[in-house]
Chain A
Amino acid sequence: MTPSELDLVTAESEPAASAPEREPILELRAVRAAYGRIEVLRGVDLAVPEGSVVALLGRNGAGKTTTLNVISGQLPASHGSVMLAGRRVNGASADQLARLGVCTVPEGRGVFPNLTVHENLRLFTYCGITVDEVEAATFARFPKLEPRRRQLAGTLSGGEQQMLALARALATRPAVLLLDELSMGLAPIVVEELYAQVAKIATEGISVLVVEQFARTVLAVADLAAVMHHGTIHHVGTPGAVMDQLSDAYLGGGLS
């Protein structure tokens, strides 16, 4: 994809209209990355305009998780640039990026199973917020967690664990939120509930890049959608446009 196409995409999306000439908060330019000698990302171009929700779709093994790993600093890009607010951040470590406001909820459960809920929340205080503030923000959003403060996170239900993981995004007020398959192994109703919170987070000005198999749920809250195939981005557009363009086979039936 060329930069001009990117601009085009940005221009037609709604939230970008508020700041059409502003740089995207997060941008990947021709990013390549490999595990050992196996190249997984083969030139990824992707932009997340400030304050928008971008959905990243694609089949199993397309490289979605890998893309998030590169952005979050867990896997170095071998080529290309990762731009955060217009600055190249290749080579920054995961913890530096986290402190810079890139909040990642990784695939699987993004919580520490052998720590209590309270201790998990305690770890979210790295950006100068007190644990009381974190707890207040979390329990306001997810009242279910409050009675479970002293419970080990590993013994929470899957949905509660994801709520706890999302709590970090609520409490630390990051610039960019990266979500990887929040829905994994959860009942549809719980997934709806989680994405309702994601939509709410987005209205507060946090930019979200979300990877998801449940295409329908996520497209309902997304401003933009990108489709990944074999380590490159094939389509970018509004959720409606992407839905129309894509055959079911492409998303592995996820649209139905």
Chain B
Amino acid sequence: MDWNKLLELTIYGVALASIYAIAASGLVVTYTTSGIFNFAHGAIGMLMAFAYWQVRVEWGWPTWLSLLVILGFVAPLTGAAIERVLIRNLRAAPLAVTLVVTAALMVGLMGLATVLWAPNRSRLLPGFYTGKTVTIANTIVTYQQLITIGLAVLLAIGLRSLFLWTRTGIAMRAVVDSRDLVALNGGRPVMLSTLSWALGAMLAGLAGILLASGPTGIGLAIEALTLVVINAYAAALFGRLRSIAFTFVGALVIGLVQQYSVGYNLTDNAFFNTQVVPVVPYLMLFVALLLLPEGRLRGAQLVHAIKIRVPSLRTSIFWGGVLVLAGWVISELVTGTNLTAVSKGVAIGIIMLSLVPLTGYAGQISLCQMTFAGVGAFAMSRIASSGTTVGFGSLGIGNGNPLGLLAAFVLAAAVGALIALPAIRLQGLYLALATMAFAVIMSSAFFEGGAIFGAGSTDAGAVQRPHFGFVSLNSNAAYLVFLTFVFGLVAVGVLALRRGPFGRRLLALRDSPAAVATLGGSPTRTKLLVFSLSAGLAGLGGALYGGVDRNVTAGQFSLFGPPGSLSVFVLAVVGGVATVSGPLLGGQLLMMTPVFFTWLGTKLKTDLTPYAQVLFGLAGIGLGRNPGGAVAEISTRFRALVMDRTVHESESETHDPPIEGLLRRDVPLGAPITPSQLQELDALLDLEEVSGIGRAGSR
């Protein structure tokens, strides 16, 4: 046994764990007091690390001043501003919307970082006290490691004191029990929430700076830094997003396991070392979710009810026909890369359609639809080929055999069932996190590395278009028409499903699993079925998506993409995931926005791609205000315009609300206060002492 190596790895592990703990406790603080899981936590940490670089390196400020400015002002203000502008409106919003808004914020912040710090040069963040070390038992420990560990310890003590000994801290814990009661006790839940987001952003920033300046090898890389802070989510889950103490324990476990698995080449297996080890925190996130006792997972809310009107079979077939016709017209008008982008948009639309039964109807959230799409593309590439592909063998039954599409559906559905089985009892946020972990694990351990999509570092592989006897899909125009046809078919099918008994069971699953039983079904089986169905549809969409370029890359099926599972989920919800028209819009938004920005960029002779990312963030943020999705919003406006402007009256028919996808809030979020009322209130507040209405005792 090499004790020195063990000690060295342990110190590395504890230092890394300290950073995870700092980041995770920030996440816990924001989640407990605002009830909203901040997907953008990692991105905030990343942004702060860049901001620190800006003042420390670029402007050459002294270290203490840089830290003070970034962690004392910039980070807390950013957090508070995010809470003010975004989070506050989300209190009564469905979980899917809160996830989308913070996920969009994450993408937006990553775009912002790219705009501000274009990755066209290398940036280095100096460590703290570089080169200074102490030697403990023959092992060299850097000052930076000591500082990191010390900070985590101080923070643990500080947070504990805050939550145990101060009124503000106690009130922050009280908000978890009952927000209303805190207000009745004279506390200000809104202010507590702002405060917690300021604190959370500060902790994220600290973690980001420590990571980027430390010997972790990450440095200032936008995506890597964001992802590593997400590692901390697993730690937060050890404390079931509530307990700071357990969060620290979780961080320690993750940090140590990660360092040991890196340090001790457990096997000589290159696949294990390069593709599994990097995602160890995600594996642990997955395991933590699966192992947490049921009781610990309560409190994760489901997606709220979204009222939609379901078109009849005839109506949906009619609109399907219109769509194919439109596809044909567009295929005649558009050429080249624009045609490809539109086609990819429709294919992504099919993948997004897979979210309609799952998220729109059943209220289950999946952040790994592109993983299923990748599995579908993989099946297509193996089955519908002539048998010359590399790796994992080939069952080629001929180029473009349509059975490849069936294989794509079946294999993806099987993988969907495989993930649904362990995750079946997870709900809401926990399901979302489990599927996110699954997406990252699959993309690193399965898609990357060349075994799946071609050899070498390209990670690219050929995917055939299906061909049906005499109908040739070789031209891009014909393929677009075919894609719209499939989209229409799937959409009609999904709507038919919704009208049938299974659809009713899905809605029941969303409202309360117990209600499924009253409809004569088992909640477990319903969930399993809808997950498989959704994964299968995504697989089908993935196979068709691959056919557009006749080629795919591993990156397309990762979490971040492009297009990536996260964007697919975000834009599906932005379009409106309870309608079938939402995915159509979402797919086009996802594929056409970059095209537009590239076009504009060439006109203006600058690279505008990062701005597309920022815009993407803004789209998700806009959703926070129209939680029913863009299509519902537009159709509401349209109806209001066309139908003698009496939308409000028709809305009040409770039996069949005609407003598609419009979220109905049970409780109005505060009536507008008129200026005169405000004046009166101000006067009242001033008069408190004088008039004696304040305290009976003062009379």
- The residues of A that contact B182 with a CB separation of less than 8 Å are 95, 123
Interface residues on B, range: 35 or more
Distance of B334 from chain A, by nearest CB (Å): 45
Whether B137 is near chain A, meaning CB under 8 Å from some CB there, is no
| CB-based contact A106/B186 at 8 Å | no
Beta-carbon contacts under 8 Å, A26-42 to B: 34-37
| CB-based contact A98/B696 at 8 Å | no
| CB-based contact A98/B184 at 8 Å | yes
| CB-based contact A84/B693 at 8 Å | yes
Given known pairs A96-B685, A119-B170, A123-B185, the reply for A204 and B178 (CB within 8 Å) is no
Whether A166 is near chain B, meaning CB under 8 Å from some CB there, is no
Distance of B450 from chain A, by nearest CB (Å): 51
Q: How far is the CA of A96 from the CA of B184 in the complex (A)?
A: 9
Given known pairs A122-B170, A126-B185, the reply for A90 and B677 (CB within 8 Å) is yes
Stretch at the interface among A110-118, A190-198, A209-217, A246-254: A110-118
- The residues of B that contact A64 with a CB separation of less than 8 Å are none
Whether A20 is near chain B, meaning CB under 8 Å from some CB there, is no
- The residues of B that contact A127 with a CB separation of less than 8 Å are 186, 694-695
Stretch at the interface among B279-287, B432-440, B660-668: B660-668
- The residues of B that contact A174 with a CB separation of less than 8 Å are 695-696
Whether B604 is near chain A, meaning CB under 8 Å from some CB there, is no
| CB-based contact A123/B171 at 8 Å | yes
* Other-chain contact of B668, A36, A92, A122, A124 (Cβ < 8 Å): A36
- The residues of A that contact B673 with a CB separation of less than 8 Å are 90-91
Q: How far is the CA of A238 from the CA of B667 in the complex (A)?
A: 35
- The residues of A that contact B693 with a CB separation of less than 8 Å are 25, 84-85, 100-101, 175
Whether A243 is near chain B, meaning CB under 8 Å from some CB there, is no
- The residues of B that contact A90 with a CB separation of less than 8 Å are 671, 673, 677
Question: Interface code B263-296, partner A: CB below 8 Å = 1, 0 otherwise?
Answer: 0000000000000000000000000000000000
Given known pairs A78-B671, A87-B683, the reply for A106 and B180 (CB within 8 Å) is yes
Whether B656 is near chain A, meaning CB under 8 Å from some CB there, is no
| CB-based contact B170/A84 at 8 Å | no
Q: Which residue of A lies closest to B166 (CB)?
A: A122
Interface of chain B: mostly helix, strand, loop or mixed: helix
* Other-chain contact of B173, A93, A115, A205 (Cβ < 8 Å): A115
Q: Give the interface centre of A25, A36, A84, A205 by most chain B CB atoms within 10 Å.
A: A36
* Other-chain contact of B188, A78, A87, A95 (Cβ < 8 Å): A95
Given known pairs A36-B665, A76-B668, A123-B170, the reply for A95 and B183 (CB within 8 Å) is yes
Distance of A129 from chain B, by nearest CB (Å): 10
| CB-based contact A123/B695 at 8 Å | no
- The residues of B that contact A91 with a CB separation of less than 8 Å are 671, 673-674, 677-678, 681
| CB-based contact A100/B174 at 8 Å | no
Whether A65 is near chain B, meaning CB under 8 Å from some CB there, is no
Give the number of residue pairs across the A-B interface with Cβ within 8 Å: 137
Given known pairs A90-B677, A123-B187, the reply for A101 and B695 (CB within 8 Å) is yes
* Other-chain contact of A87, B174, B176, B666, B680 (Cβ < 8 Å): B680
Beta-carbon contacts under 8 Å, B320-357 to A: none
Distance of A100 from chain B, by nearest CB (Å): 6
| CB-based contact B684/A89 at 8 Å | yes
Whether B688 is near chain A, meaning CB under 8 Å from some CB there, is yes
| CB-based contact B183/A94 at 8 Å | yes
Q: How far is the CA of A91 from the CA of B668 in the complex (A)?
A: 13
| CB-based contact A175/B696 at 8 Å | yes
Whether A229 is near chain B, meaning CB under 8 Å from some CB there, is no
Whether B216 is near chain A, meaning CB under 8 Å from some CB there, is no
- The residues of B that contact A78 with a CB separation of less than 8 Å are 671
Whether A163 is near chain B, meaning CB under 8 Å from some CB there, is no
* Other-chain contact of B684, A35, A100, A173 (Cβ < 8 Å): A100
State the 10 A-B residue pairs at the shortest beta-carbon distance, nearest first: A76-B671, A126-B186, A94-B183, A91-B673, A85-B693, A98-B186, A173-B697, A112-B177, A95-B183, A205-B696
Residues of B within 8 A of A (CB): 167, 170-171, 173-174, 176-178, 180-189, 651-652, 654, 664-668, 670-671, 673-674, 677-678, 680-681, 683-685, 687-688, 691, 693-699
Residues of A within 8 A of B (CB): 25, 34-37, 72-78, 84-85, 87-96, 98-101, 103-104, 106, 110-115, 119, 122-127, 168, 172-175, 204-207
Q: Please list 9 pairs of residues, one from A and one from B, whose beta carbons are closer than 8 Å in the complex, sorted by A's number.
A: A84-B693, A89-B684, A93-B183, A94-B183, A100-B693, A106-B184, A111-B181, A123-B167, A206-B696
